[in-house]
Amino acid sequence: MLVWDSKLDTGIEVIDAQHKRIVTYVNHLEVAKTKGDKTLVGEVIEQLVDYTQSHFSFEESMMEEAGYKFLKPHQKVHELFIKRVTGFTMRAAKGEDVVDELHTMLTTWLINHIASEDHDYASTVQKMLANKAGGQDASDKGKSGFISGLLGRFFRSGGRH
Enumerate binding residues for Fe ion (CB under 5 A): 118
Closest approach of Cβ 113 to Fe ion, in Å?
6
67-76 exposure pattern, b = at least 16 Cβ within 10 A, e = fewer: ebeebeebbe
Closest approach of Cβ 60 to Fe ion, in Å?
8
Q: With respect to Fe ion, which residue has the nearer C-beta, 44 or 62?
A: 62
Closest approach of Cβ 52 to Fe ion, in Å?
9
Q: With respect to Fe ion, which residue has the nearer C-beta, 60 or 88?
A: 60
Amino acid at 24: T
Distances (CA, A) of 38 to 51, 66, 71, 75, 84: 20, 42, 37, 31, 20
Cβ atoms within 10 Å, residue 156: 11
Q: Which residue is nearest to Fe ion (CB)?
A: 118
Q: With respect to Fe ion, which residue has the nearer C-beta, 16 or 118?
A: 118
